[in-house]
DNA sequence: ATGGATGCAAACTGTTTGCACTACT
DNA sequence: AGTAGTGCAAACAGTTTGCATCCAT
């Protein structure tokens, strides 16, 4: 499989961090990271919890949340909040930055537009601030096709 | 006061809507709308609830949420969700569309950049969709001033 | 062996819901 | 009079927390 290489890289990142910060290399952390990178796109804590429960490696909710926080901090995972108030997550290593288009409240597409960087640069200059991240969502619906 | 005029206009909008949809013109609805338009910027349901409680017109949480939904539907109020998972609201009539810059996790500034419309237009064409709304937030921090 | 991490369940927070009562039309 | 809207409190959902136990170091 070609993405074993990605898997190796992200595990290495986690590994390095844990070593550096003298945190424990628990099997749970690696198992969770692996499951997340097997997801294709957005999931929430509960989905991950259930996926883990079905897998050979059952893990508690507390650990799910703890590990998600850790991985977000490491930039291996991105945390979103769309319109409702539950957090959504997605793997982020090796995926270039993108924004989201949400159609009919449930379908999520991704896009990338360089002009967002230009806006960011302007804002930084105008307000004399340093921007660390942004979130841009478009909400819309598919056009009805005329018969 | 110069914004009595604004107050009159928005009450008229609510009025028309209630009449049209044959909904009741309860004093609670007008009182809540008025309090909201006395706020200067972002608040959450609880802040509004407390503000109402202190005013002459105490109102229940259920009514707060019901009325907020109604006003959002009428575009008199905008509903946001920033990084944590509680909804924030702001009055929106007469205020041209703007986006938000959140500094050091607590200060909220507003800005307006026409390029966001250009991005929107592109996305609509590329994906053949109709975009109804967007949300754009920049998260950053103030630059340290050198002494 | 030590204490950081986990599992479990209870607590918490913001929001929603059910139902009896109120008051707008 | 009829019923939409309100108030209250209980229910709910997602997340966080406290504490006993476990296991990586």
pLDDT score of A1 more than 60: no
> Residues B10, B46: one domain?
yes
- Higher-scoring residue by pLDDT: A2, A146: A146
Q: Which of B136, B143, B144 to mutate to test the interface with A (most CBs of A within 10 A)?
A: B136
Cβ A85–B83 below 8 Å, yes or no? no
Calpha distance A72→A89 (Å, rounded): 9
- Model pLDDT, residue B113: 94
Q: Does the global pTM surpass 0.75?
A: yes
> Residues B109, B48: one domain?
no
- In chain B, residues 31 through 70 whose Cβ sits under 7 angstroms from any atom of nucleic acid strand C: 44-46, 61-62, 65
Residue A145 lies in a domain: no
Residue A118 lies in a domain: yes
- Structure letter (DSSP) for residue A59: -
Residue B136 lies in a domain: yes
Residue A147 lies in a domain: no
CATH number of B52's domain: 1.10.10.10
- Model pLDDT, residue A146: 63
Residue B146 lies in a domain: no
For the four alpha carbons of B7, B8, B13 and B14, in that order, the dihedral sign comes to: positive
CA-based R_g, chain A, Å: 18
Residue B147 lies in a domain: no
Which residues of A make CB contacts under 8 Å with B? 81-83, 85-87, 101, 103, 109, 111, 113, 115-116, 118-120, 122-124, 126-143
Pick from A97, A140, A123, A134: nearest CA to B120: A140
Range(s) of the domain holding residue B107:
99-140
CATH number of A110's domain: 3.30.1490.190
- Model pLDDT, residue B12: 95
Provide the token pair at A109.
């597409």
What pLDDT, in 10s, does the model give residues B43-58? Answer: 999 999 999 999 988 9
Calpha distance B73→B102 (Å, rounded): 26
Collect the ranges in chain B with pLDDT lower than 50.
Answer: 2
What pLDDT, in 10s, does the model give residues A44-101? Answer: 999 999 999 999 889 999 999 999 999 999 999 999 998 888 999 999 987 778 999 9
Pick from A37, A34, A15, A19: nearest CA to A94: A37
Chain B residues with beta carbon closer than 8 angstroms to that of A120: 138
Count how many domains chain A has: 2
- Model pLDDT, residue A147: 57
> Residues A72, A131: one domain?
no
Cβ A124–B103 below 8 Å, yes or no? no
Residue A63 lies in a domain: yes
Residue B26 lies in a domain: yes
């Amino acid at each position: 499989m070609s993405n074993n290489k990605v898997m190796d890289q992200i595990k290495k990142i986690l590994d390095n961090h844990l070593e550096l910060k003298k945190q424990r290399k628990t099997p749970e952390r690696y198992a969770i990271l692996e499951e997340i990178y097997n997801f294709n796109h957005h999931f929430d804590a509960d989905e991950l919890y259930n996926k883990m429960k079905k897998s050979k490696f059952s893990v508690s909710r507390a650990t799910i949340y703890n590990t998600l926080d850790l991985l977000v901090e490491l930039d291996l995972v991105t945390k979103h909040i769309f319109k409702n108030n539950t957090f959504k997550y997605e793997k982020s290593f090796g995926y270039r930055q993108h924004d989201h288009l949400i159609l009919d409240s449930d379908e999520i597409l991704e896009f990338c537009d360089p002009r967002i960087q230009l806006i960011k640069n302007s804002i930084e200059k105008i307000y004399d601030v340093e921007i660390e991240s942004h979130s841009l969502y478009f909400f819309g619906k598919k056009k009805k096709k005329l018969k």
